[in-house]
Amino acid sequence: MLRIHFTAEDLGRVRVLPEPDPMWETVFSIFRLQERGPSLVFHEWRRAVALACSPEDLAMLRALVPGGYFPDFLTPSEGQFGLDAGIEALLSTPRSRFRAELGILAGRHRLPSWTRQLADGDRETVQRLADAIRGHFRSAVEPYWQQAQAHIDADRARRARAYLDGGTEGLLSSYLPMMRWSSPVLSVDVQQEQDVHLNGRGLVLVPSFISMSTPDFLHDSALPQVLVYPVEHSVPVSAAAPAPRISLAPLIGDTRTAVLESIGEGSSTTELARRVGVSAASISQHTAVLRSAGLIRTGRVGKAVLHTLTPLGDALLKRGLATVA
């Protein structure tokens, strides 16, 4: 159990990132490739990435991400600003931090000899690690970025409504069952016991597309605090070629097209009825059809029933040429 303790100041300093962190996604991709057993969502992804990635890059990263603990220097907070910023932060890691975090890893796993050079901050070895991260990101993460962003947009719509309805405490409460908010503590089921006191630093919530089934966090509680959580997947992950643009109305009808276009970042049944110009009962019928087709997701946020686009619905809407007049 991870228990994150908030102060009143911390509640005003909670953020949800608008996109995945490429450094975290790259690390999670290593875990996914080592995952045993069937995975309906990631089966096609694992097969494609195993063929596309560099064996040398993968071997280097697997040595540092063998399962369980991995060094925090692989996921610097600067990664939230993009891959280049994350890699620049990695290249600037102090030697003392390389040594300390690799020491923790060596206490749990047998490490290859080249990690001694990394622990000494050898620039050539550090650069080789940075190149491996960049190369693996391009093979395992970048081709799926559009899918990842669509899933995270859907998740953010739900979180935004929860925040509007209940403030930061409403946002934190929306993460059930993966996290449990009981003021002033956010409890997260993880594989070890840890208490983190934010003490005014705030918390960055990082949505992840490739993450495993539970949230992840930094081992060193003195670092800027992030909590990385998995978003829901509505379809299997695959690197599909862009589909041709289509007209939606002949496929799903004018009213359902209008409903999709009106959902935006998330809308209630009453809001949709007002925007589309039909009764709430009619909206309920149309949303039931769209939901059964996998184009929208309906969930309760507080007392409201909220409709949001799924990644499939968002992609279909973006490909549609015709809009309802």
For position 239, what pLDDT does the model report?
Answer: 59
8-state DSSP, 120: T
For position 243, what pLDDT does the model report?
Answer: 46
**Count H helices, E strands: the chain?**
14, 11
**Which neighbouring-strand residues pair with 320?**
246
Q: What is the block-wise mean pLDDT of the chain (325 residues), using blocks of 10 residues?
A: 95 94 96 77 88 94 93 96 95 97 96 97 97 96 89 88 92 94 94 90 96 88 92 71 54 83 83 84 89 86 80 75 38
* CATH architecture of the domain with residue range 249-319: Orthogonal Bundle (1.10)
* Cα–Cα distance for residue pair 263/272, rounded to 1 Å: 7
Residue carrying the six token digits 């934010």: 198
Three-state SS across 136-201?
HHHHHCHHHHHHHHHHHHHHHHHHHHHHHHHHHHHHHHCCCCCEEEECCEEEECCCCCEEEECCCC
For position 37, what pLDDT does the model report?
Answer: 63
For position 43, what pLDDT does the model report?
Answer: 85
Domain ranges of the chain: 2-18+146-230, 22-144, 249-319
Please name the residues in contact with 195: beta carbons below 8 A apart, sequence gap of 6 or more. Answer: 2, 3, 5
For position 250, what pLDDT does the model report?
Answer: 66
Q: Which of 129, 109, 18 is nearest to 69 (CA)?
A: 109
For position 39, what pLDDT does the model report?
Answer: 67
What is 204-263 written as a DSSP string? Answer: EEEEESS--SS-EE-S-TTSPPEEEEEPP-SS----PPPPPPB-SHHHH-HHHHHHHHHH
